[in-house]
Structure 1
Amino acid sequence: MKNLLKSVVLASGLIFAANAASAQQKVGHINSRTVMESTTDFKNAQTQIQSLGATKDKELQDMFTLYQAKQKDLNDKARNRSEANKETVDVELNKIATEMREMEGKIQESQQQAEKDMEAKQAELFAPIQTKIMTAINAVAKEKGYAYILDLASGSVVYSAGGDDLTADVQAKLGVTAAAAPKK
């Protein structure tokens, strides 16, 4: 009986100690996507990326238009080919076909370069924004005494019934106004 009483007291003490320890570790959460999308820097970056995308699309479309014109020229010459002009037209057709193959290669290279340019521009524009947000998150966490801040946007949290949502606090630290809260 004495051992049972000691076990109950020891178990109660451990539970109390665990609860006291966990009470000291504040856990909060934010939605970094909401914070990022609410900043003026993000909106400006999006505008620049869209502008670059439109420029790249126009360049590719112009190249494709030239390719289509060559294709039409090739088809027209092939249609007008006869026994009398066969040798001359065949030389022209081969020349056009070679030009078209070169254009295809350039179009492919340009598409790949456009994708690289877009990725580089995104990295260039978003890296400082992410750094700024992380600095604000760290400042809010320290000011409010949080040991952990979980990011709901990263997908690593599948359930969040408790904890404090610090999204608005981080937005305030960045000087941006909160947009409508996302629906869960």
Structure 2
Amino acid sequence: MMNKIKLLVAAFFLISFASFAQSNDQPLKIGYTNVEYILLQLPESKQIESQLKDHSTQLENQLKNKYAEYESKLQAYEKGAATMDATIREDKEKELMGLNNSIQEFQRNAQMSLQQKEKSLVDPVITKIDKAIKDVAKENGYTYVISNQALLAGPEDGDISPLVLKKLGVDPAKAQQTPEPAASKPATPAAKPATPAKNNKKKN
């Protein structure tokens, strides 16, 4: 779940880098931070993960219900197809195909729904972090702030993460030293694809 949040963070900061104009009398001062790390320290991070998990569970349960209905009707069809009237058999096959299509469509829509939910939850927090980074940079005379993931070497005092955390109301002393490993979880269960009913029509 948090892996997807990382992607949203990366996408946001590709187009919203904290950079600042340098005046003629101001020496170049570069700071760095890790936005993903900052995000994981905020209480909103756990709230986002919890809400995404709840949303994902609702989608999973709905998909399971749809698939259970399909399986039940498919088994009933296969059991009685040989003795069914041709008209009834055709109607059952159309119903199964409709259920199959409904499952496939739901899976696509569920993935889109989860992505939209993620974006709606993460974007406001990323905007808040972005503002805090810019404020810290301005207050402390940093000309540029870059992601430490793009940093090959730099002084320890260039890391503005503790200042950003303070700005966001988080005690840096209580922050984790490294970002938590994210346990990815699929948005919907990997249910086997619904198998269209075979046409067992017999010539009358």
Taking structure 2 as the reference length, the TM-score comes to: 0.69
Aligned partner of residue 24 in structure 1, secondary structure: coil
Report percent identity of matched pairs: 24
Tell me if the contact between 2:70 and 2:99 (Cα under 8 Å) persists in the aligned partners: yes
Give the 3-state SS of the residue equivalent to 1:149 in structure 2: strand
CA deviation after TM superposition for structure 1 residue 25, in Å: 0.7
Distance 1:182 1:160 in 2: 18
SS in 2 for 1:29: strand
Distance 1:31 1:181 in 2: 12
Counterpart in the other structure of 2:58: 55
Provide the C-alpha distance between the structure 1 equivalents of 2:113 and 2:159, rounded to a whole number of angstroms.
Answer: 36
1:173 aligns to 2:167 (yes or no): yes
Q: Quote the residue 2:120 is aligned against.
A: 124
Shift of 1:99: 0.7
Task: Please name the residue that 1:110 is paired with.
Answer: 106
Residue by residue over 1:111-169, the C-alpha shift from the partner in whole angstroms, topping out at 9 and shown as x without a partner, is: 111112111111111111011001100111111110111113xx5x1513336111121
Query: Which among 73, 76, 94 is matched to residue 73 of structure 1?
Result: 76
What is the CA-CA distance between 1:91 and the residue it aligns to?
3.0
| Counterpart secondary structure, 1:172 | helix
> Contact 1:137–1:170 (CA<8 Å) still a contact in 2?
yes
Letter in 1 for 2:145: I
One-letter code aligned to 2:40: E
SS at match of 2:143: strand
Higher helix share: 1
**Equivalent residue for 1:43, pick from 46, 49, 68:** 46
Range moving further from structure 2, 174-183 or 26-35 = 174-183
CA RMSD in angstroms comes to 2.0
Compute the displacement of 1:98 (Å): 0.8
Of residues 173-182 and 125-134 in structure 1, the stretch that sits farther from structure 2 once superposed is 173-182
- Partner residue of 2:132? 136
Pairing partner for 1:161 from 154, 161, 170: 154
Distance, in Å, in 2 between the alignment partners of 1:135 and 1:120 is 23
- Does the CA contact (< 8 Å) of 1:71 and 1:100 recur in 2? yes
Structure 1: tracts of 5 or more residues without a match? 1-20
Tell me the distance in 2 between the aligned counterparts of 1:107 and 1:177.
47
Deviations 1:40-72 (A, max 9, x none): 112211111110010011001100000101111
1:97 is displaced (CA, Å) by: 1.3
Residue matched to 1:97: 93
Counterpart-to-counterpart distance in 2, 1:180 and 1:122: 23
Is the contact made by 2:41 and 2:176 (CA closer than 8 Å) also made in structure 1? Answer: no
Letter of the 2:67 partner, please give it: F
Is the Cα contact below 8 Å between 1:38 and 1:177 reproduced in 2? no
* Cα separation, 1, equivalents of 2:47 and 2:107: 25
